[in-house]
Structure 1
Amino acid sequence: MNQARIEILRAYDALGPDGRPRFLVDRMWPRGVTKDALRLAAWLRDVAPSTELRRWFGHDPARWEKFQARYCAELDANPQAWQPLIEAAEQGPIALLFGARDREHNQAVVLRDYLMRKLAHR
């Protein structure tokens, strides 16, 4: 199982048709982006970090390590939120869409790595 199975894409990038199911993994809809532009399989708000955690993190790279640990703890406590992503990834490649500007320090990166660990143990 490799990471190509779960790709992360910024919702604001031009997204051409690629046949993969796409899942928005933000709690809030990306501003100025239409539903048609994203062509989502689903918007999974509940898999996103809690509002409290998101506000605390504030996309501050200095808080990245703690954010990852806290977000993984939230995911551990809420398996029903990420289970549809596991099931979809077992069927073929999927894409996680996020809205943050920072491509390296965002919840989609943590979620992809978390899901890859879960898939590796199946």
Structure 2
Amino acid sequence: MTSDDERAVREAVVAWDLAMVGNDASAIGTFMAEDWVIVGADGSVSDRARFLALVALGDLQHDVMETHDMRVRVYGKTAVTVARGVSGGHYRGHPFLLDERVSGVFVQQEGAWRCVLTHLSLLAQGER
């Protein structure tokens, strides 16, 4: 059985994917907590302001953002997600298409589920 909170987290992730493909920094930011952090597949760490600036400047553009096989666990006002993600587009003019394991931590803030941490790991060729 799926709880209302689990369903709301899933819906937020799908809406976030759509915002990413829309390349609208303002819309993307609504899914992130102010102190959101992303750990890239290469181990780099970035924050909300830097990420959204890359989008706003057009340095980071997505034409693909898909979430597959998502698992969601809700712990009160916190939720943890693990999924396979497909991310593609251009970073500073260079094309990319990545198949990744995506982990997220979401918290309930002001009636919405917002992400506080995203962690990415590249999937080995053929792994799903």
Which TM class, normalised by the smaller chain length? Answer: under 0.3
Provide the TM-score with structure 2 as the length reference.
0.27
Of structures 1 and 2, the one with the larger relative CO (CA 8 A, separation 6+) is: 1
Provide the TM-score with structure 1 as the length reference.
0.28
* Higher normalized strand content (fraction of residues): 2
* Higher normalized helix content (fraction of residues): 1
